[in-house]
Structure 1
Amino acid sequence: MIIHFARIDDRLIHGQVTTVWVKKANAKRIIIASDEVAHDEIRKTLLKQAAPPGTKVNVCEVDKAVKVYFNPVYQNETVFYLFTNPTDVLRMIKQNVPITSVNIGGMAYREGKTQITKAVSLGTEDVEAFKKLNEHGVKLELRVVDSDTPINLMKKIEGLSSAK
């Protein structure tokens, strides 16, 4: 499998993803790797329907996404990975899936999270996962849309630590 793009966006497939990021990814397949979404039949159906024409969409558990990555049947397939959180990205990397760069586009605010941009809020678990991804050499950039100037996520996280 040839990884063209990886993005964390808890909305998954929506307008910006279908009009901008799918084109940037230039991949034939979107794989949504999420245990939670894989077990939600209604959400899976809606996500598949929201995909742009000609783009295959698969929704699967993280461990299955790893198996698919290493399946020789898909070795020439181009893929755009979508995740809802950094923990799932880290799980794939720990199983030797070579994700080298992750675009962070949307992580909604919820109680217990700290808002670091208009579109991204992080909880303790998210921060720890991003730190580990950084240790693995993964480039982490914040960009809601492709025309935004990329922001280094780790600098934002360091700013959180120094503000306390």
Structure 2
Amino acid sequence: MEIVNVRIDERMIHGQVAAFWTNSLNATRILVIDDQAASDDIQKMALRMACPSTVKLSILSAEKAVQRLQQQAYPNERLFVVMRGVATAKKVLDLGYTFPVINVGNISNKLGSVRVVGTTSVTPEEAQQFRELAGKGIRITAQMVPSDELKEFMPLLERAF
């Protein structure tokens, strides 16, 4: 099992993930880690429809995902991990699994959020969660599509706050 990318993108599987990221990473499986989606049949159906037919899909709660990752449950797979938000990444870390690098994509503007870069806006609470991840040695980057320049996220976050 090789984790080829870990991405926070509140849209989870959409055009950029399905068309650009999955192909450029040569991913064989998308692992969506999201407690809400894992327990909602309608969300699961929508994610299955958005997933490229050439790629396997797993939609798991944070707890189940950590178990599967710790078990190395996807042998010979190129795994692309997608999470809706930083809270899920923090939960995965708290449950005992550490991703060395997390790429941040789209997080839409909402009440109280501040634009950090591109279409990525975070609330003060999310900013603190990003700081906690970075404090554990996780490198956090920002890149909307693979052809964009890879940027270090934390200096952009600190400039925004």
Mark yes or no: TM-score above 0.5: yes
CA distance in 2, matches of 1:31, 1:68: 10
Structure 1 pair 159/32, CA: closer, same or farther in 2 (3 Å)? same
Check conservation: 2:20, 2:145, Cα contact below 8 A: yes
| 1:135 matches 2:114 | no
**Hey, what does 2:20 align to over in structure 1?**
20
Check conservation: 1:29, 1:80, Cα contact below 8 A: yes
Structure 1 pair 73/130, CA: closer, same or farther in 2 (3 Å)? closer
Equivalent runs, 1:39-118 vs 2, <5 Å? 39-118=39-118
Check conservation: 1:48, 1:58, Cα contact below 8 A: no
Residues 6-15 or 133-142, more deviating: 133-142
1:120-156 CA distance string (max 9 Å, x none): 0101221111111111211111111111112211111
CA distance in 1, matches of 2:130, 2:39: 25
CA distance in 2, matches of 1:73, 1:113: 37
Check conservation: 1:32, 1:58, Cα contact below 8 A: yes
CA distance in 2, matches of 1:59, 1:22: 16
Check conservation: 2:87, 2:126, Cα contact below 8 A: yes
* Contiguous gaps of at least 5 residues in structure 2: none
**Hey, what does 2:2 align to over in structure 1?**
2
**Hey, what does 2:149 align to over in structure 1?**
149
Number of matched residues? 161
CA distance in 2, matches of 1:38, 1:23: 24
- Aligned CA RMSD, in angstroms, stands at 1.6
TM-score (norm 2): 0.91
